[in-house]
Amino acid sequence: MFSLRGRNPQLVVIVVGVALITLNVGTGFIDRLSTDYLQEAMMGSGAIYGTARAINALVSLLQGTEVNAWVATFAVGELLDPVNDLIERFSGVITIVMASLALQALLLGVFSGLWIDVSLVALGGLAFWAHQKGSPEWAFKTLRIFFISLMVRLSMVVVAVAGHGVDQIFLNETVNNMHVKMKEFRTELEIISGQEQKDPGLKDQIKQLENMVLEKEKNITIWEGRLIDSQNLIELFKKDLQESDSRTWLDKLLSNPSPPAAIEAQHRIDLERAKQSDYEVALERVREELEVIADELGCLKKQELEQSCSFFPKLFSDDENKPSMTERIEHLSQDINAFALNTVNLLATMLLKSILLPILFLAVFFKLPRFFQWLLSK
């Protein structure tokens, strides 16, 4: 009976590599973990990109606005011009970040096909046989081909898993906090833009906002209904999957192919889950818009009752008079430096997360064989 005790490291590499690939063929746990992380990272980057483009659009909308101060008249566009330049560059780099994540997902898909795993298992068996029965030259060649193929197969998986670990421990909370600050700055711009574009009549403004609230509430009901319908479809497809997939756990472990009906049911589940994710994003966006509109509507109703209020409670207190457009712009100018620093930090973190760390992990992974070889030589 074959035992690893007393065997050389080459046989250990073959046995461990074949066992790992065989286990992944049966369960798919390695590829699934890596794919989920890359999809989550791409969605997060897309949300940040969307916020940046919204800020860019608002700045462009305010380019021609002029504010009368005590001593001079200045254009809001001049004040926000640095923000516009920064966001343009930020959006360009975030596009590269998303392209990097998409490339990693593509390479993972290329290197994780079933035929590749089956070929690796067969190649490992051939290398083991050559090491036991073949000539030393043939054993060396087959082992070298198997080892290089195994390293390439696992490279993107190791990069994604390592990146996921670092992200969850060190970076995820920081990125989320910086994204929240960016959205707060966007909200400030939306309030200023809304104040600058209001109609003169207060009652008309209130009526307009009430109609917008009703429209947003209607949209929320629609998206919630779509989410419920989507969940019902998923449950129905799951029942179809259970009924059509009659394989035992042993058949699944041996990677016996699923029935066509089961494959179709799983495909429908995946598509419906993707739709569900889009519905959730759209629903959250409408809720945020409704919150902003509701706050502004409440303030206008206070004004109608000759009560004072502020559009942005965190920055302005309720004084006798509502903060003017000039006061809002002056306060915004004080926040620009903090926004720029937050944006640069977010950009650096995203570059580290999606480009620099994967390159570092990939380099370390391909250096490991030499390190182990050095240890074995001691």
- Closest by alpha carbon to 318, among 332, 298, 291? 298
Tens digits of per-residue pLDDT, 223-264?
888 888 888 887 887 777 676 655 554 555 445 555 676 677
Domain contains 2: no
Is residue 77 within 8 A of residue 67, CB to CB? The reply is no
Q: Which residue range(s) make up the domain with 118?
A: 9-377
Mean pLDDT across 126-155: 81
pLDDT reported for residue 3: 44
Residue 147 has pLDDT above 50, yes or no: yes
Residue 307 banded pLDDT, cuts 50, 70, 90: low
Q: What is the pTM of this model?
A: 0.57
Q: Quote the CA–CA distance of 142 and 158 in Å, as a whole number.
A: 24
CA angle at residue 208 from 204 to 209, to 5 degrees?
120
CA angle at residue 311 from 309 to 315, to 5 degrees?
100
Task: Round the average pLDDT of the chain to a whole number and report it.
Answer: 77
The distance from CA 239 to its chain's CA centroid, rounded to whole angstroms, is 30
In the chain, the DSSP E strands lie at: 66-68, 73-75
CA dihedral 98, 94, 177, 275 (to 10 degrees): -40
CA angle at residue 332 from 78 to 48, to 5 degrees?
90
178-182, 238-242, 293-297, 372-376 — most confident range: 178-182
Residue 330 has pLDDT above 50, yes or no: yes
Residue 99 has pLDDT above 90, yes or no: yes
Residue 271 has pLDDT above 80, yes or no: yes
Domain contains 3: no
pLDDT reported for residue 369: 75
Is residue 74 within 8 A of residue 66, CB to CB? The reply is yes
For 31-40, 83-92, 259-268, which range has the lowest pLDDT when averaged over its residues?
259-268
CB atoms within 10 A of CB 46: 14
Domain contains 373: yes
Domain count, the chain: 1
- In Å, how far are 167, 172, 178, 216, 343 from 51, measured between CA atoms? 21, 17, 12, 20, 11
Domain contains 294: yes
Which residue shows structure tokens 């197969």? 153
pLDDT reported for residue 346: 92
Domain contains 315: yes
- Closest by alpha carbon to 316, among 328, 333, 303, 300? 328
Domain contains 322: yes
111-120, 279-288, 297-306 — most confident range: 279-288
Domain contains 153: yes
- Closest by alpha carbon to 233, among 271, 282, 283, 280? 271
Residue 213 banded pLDDT, cuts 50, 70, 90: confident
The one-letter amino acid code at 216 reads: K
Q: Quote the CA–CA distance of 139 and 10 in Å, as a whole number.
A: 10
Residue 191 has pLDDT above 90, yes or no: no
Residue 65 has pLDDT above 60, yes or no: no
Residue 96 banded pLDDT, cuts 50, 70, 90: very high
For 44-53, 57-66, 121-130, 343-352, which range has the lowest pLDDT when averaged over its residues?
57-66
Instruction: Write the DSSP string, 303-372.
Output: HHTT----S-TTT----SSPPPHHHHHHHHHHHHHHHHHHHHHHHHHHHIIIIIHHHHHHHHHHHHHHHH
pLDDT reported for residue 199: 42
Domain contains 316: yes
Q: What is the share, in percent, of the chain residues with pLDDT greater than 90?
A: 13
